[in-house]
Amino acid sequence: MENMATSSKLGPNIFITGANRGIGLGLVKEFAKQSDVQNIFAGCRDPNKAKELSDLQAAHPSIKIIQIDVQNDSTIKSAVTEVERILGPNSGLNVLINNAAIFGKQSGQKLSDPDRKTWLEHFDVNTVGPAIVTAAFLPLLRKASSAESASKVVNISSELASTRLLPSFGQVLYGLPEDVRGTKAIGYGNIVYGMSKAALNHYTRALACDEPSLIAISACPGWVRTDMGEEKADLSVEESTSAIVKLIAGLKHEQSGGYFSPGRKAIEFTPIDF
């Protein structure tokens, strides 16, 4: 595996939430291929249940599994303390990826049937969680950031957050056969997911303004074959995550506050309107 490693401009220290499966796990695998990434902090709620992540860690000493629940402030604080302990007093965090999210498929998401608990949970995990996690890691992000190599905050978002694209999602939903409506257009029925990600995009723009020494972006991974995206999705996890890593490595300061989405045909990330 050693001779397959490549070099990047990511920086040595990276933290990812929701790293035990799907996009998060895929990102861990991609970062493990980079020779200049020294510490991959793979955050998950229950490390004891993260078997695939643990197996990956056994093959890659750069991976450090960190317990963190984005809805639990004490675990967030403990995660920061553990990262500080591992890095020591002279190192900071180069990249923070807020990936942990929920996409509920139970009743209660639609406008005609809103359930308060369901809606609040989506916002707590998908919007408030990333804000709390980022605030906790800000001292480490600032420490590693420089004019030559700014630290980066990457919030994993969704095209379902786009108010500009919302009408087309409705047209897609009602133009599809009944057996497909629950797959490719499922997000349109779960309106609160898109709302929570739209709020996350707003937070990203605010963070970019508030922390000019950092680069903060929202990135949509595309429709990916994961537990959340389902088997009929367009992209494999590897296709999506390799594009995300390429995006992060090439970010420029003037792109801070932007929202990036992969093209439908080529896996190239381009900024799109909110």
The pLDDT value given to residue 128: 99
Question: Can you give the pLDDT at residue 239?
Answer: 87
The CA-based dihedral angle spanning residues 17, 244, 63, 214, taken in that order and rounded to the nearest 10 degrees? -70
Beta bridge partners of 234: none
Token pair listed for 7: 């070099």
Determine the length of the chain: 274
Report domain extents, the chain: 2-271
For position 108, what pLDDT does the model report? 75
Strand partners, 98: 155
Are β-strands 269-271 and 95-98 bridged in parallel, bridged antiparallel, or unpaired?
unpaired
**Alpha carbons 216 and 258: distance in angstroms, whole number:** 8
Helix (H) or strand (E) holding 216: strand 215-219
Cα 75-78-83 angle, rounded to 5 deg: 125
Centre a 10 Å sphere on the Cβ of residue 181 and count the other Cβ atoms it contains: 16
Write out the chain's pLDDT in tens, 274 residues.
344 556 558 999 999 999 999 999 999 999 999 999 999 999 999 999 999 999 999 999 999 999 999 999 999 999 999 999 999 999 999 999 999 999 887 677 777 888 999 999 999 999 999 999 999 999 999 999 998 899 999 999 988 887 766 655 544 444 433 333 333 444 455 789 899 999 999 999 999 999 999 999 999 987 777 665 556 667 888 888 999 999 999 999 999 999 998 654 444 556 666 6
Expressed in percent and rounded to 5, the helix, strand and coil fractions of the chain are 45, 15, 40
C-alpha distances out from residue 229 to 186, 187, 274, Å = 9, 9, 21
Q: How far is CA 50 from the centre of its chain?
A: 18
Query: pTM for the complete prediction?
Result: 0.87
CATH of 2-271, one of 3.30.499.10, 2.60.40.10, 3.40.50.720, 3.40.50.11750: 3.40.50.720
Q: What is the largest CA-CA distance in the chain?
A: 58
Q: What is the DSSP code string of 151-175? A: -EEEEE--GGG-TTTHHHHHHHHHH
Distance, CA of 75 to chain centre:
19
